[in-house]
Amino acid sequence: KNCAVCGSTAEKVICVGDSAGANLALVVALRAVEEGVQPPDGVVALYPALMVSLTPSPSRVLSLMDPLLPLATLQLIVSEYARGFLEAHPHNVQDLRGAGPREAEGMNAQERKRLHHVSPLLAPDALLRELPRTFIMASELDPLLDDSVTFVRRMASIGKGGSEHVLLRVVPRLPHGWLNMYFIGDKTCLQASEEVTGWIKEMMGGQGGR
């Protein structure tokens, strides 16, 4: 209702973010569905953190000695990022720490309760079915790669796997946080950034709106 203050008509709203910001973008969309308010028209998530877990996944293990985001640093970041949630829901701590991207597929609704507010990968099927169109760009050399792959697999398992619902693009030979390399003129980063811009333009120019 305050869109005019920002110089916008808000006819189309796209949530865009990278890393933890991508986590927030998806959580905003999920919470909108959950609260019964108008969700964004689309979500663009770059190398998102979709499973805030201290349990290593294959991509995390492969990145054990990653020079940009080693596993130990990732675990520290995860702990700090989820601190407020864990303090508010202490009974969920063990569930959160014991669940990785693969385990998420086997968790029941009770185990997932409220965890999706910090880990979108654990959202109930009913909420995922109502998500707006989502574009995910992951990085081949990212410890969080498995999060994106498993999220898309979950969407496919509930009949929302087509590109009209969710689209995954894995950028080769780029690490987590590659968007920061855009400013040094890395060719692959520039191409990926242009593709993301194209996604946003496609969402903004599509039918619908509000």
pLDDT on residue 163: 85
Answer yes or no: is pLDDT of 56 > 90.
no
Mean pLDDT of the chain: 81
Domains of the chain: 3-205 (3.40.50.1820)
pLDDT on residue 92: 44
pLDDT on residue 48: 95
Dihedral of alpha carbons 79, 85, 91, 94, sign: negative
Entry pTM: 0.79
pLDDT on residue 100: 47
Give the C-alpha separation, 3 to 97, whole Å: 39
Contact 96, 52 (CB under 8 A): yes
Give the C-alpha separation, 90 to 7, whole Å: 41
Order of strands across the sheet that contains 42-46: 14-18, 42-46, 133-141, 166-175
SS3 171: strand
pLDDT on residue 106: 52
Closest by CA to 177, choosing from 145, 148, 152, 142, is: 142
Contact 61, 147 (CB under 8 A): no
Give the position of tokens 């054990």: 64
Residues in the chain: 210
Planar angle of CA 36, 111, 130, nearest 5 degrees? 30
Which of the residue ranges 13-22, 104-113, 135-144, 148-157 would you say has the lowest mean pLDDT? 104-113
Burial class (CB in 10 A: 0-12, 13-18, 19+), 97: middle
pLDDT on residue 83: 66
Of the pLDDT bands very low, low, confident and very high (cuts 50, 70, 90), residue 54 is low
Taking the alpha carbons at both ends of the chain, their separation in whole angstroms is 12
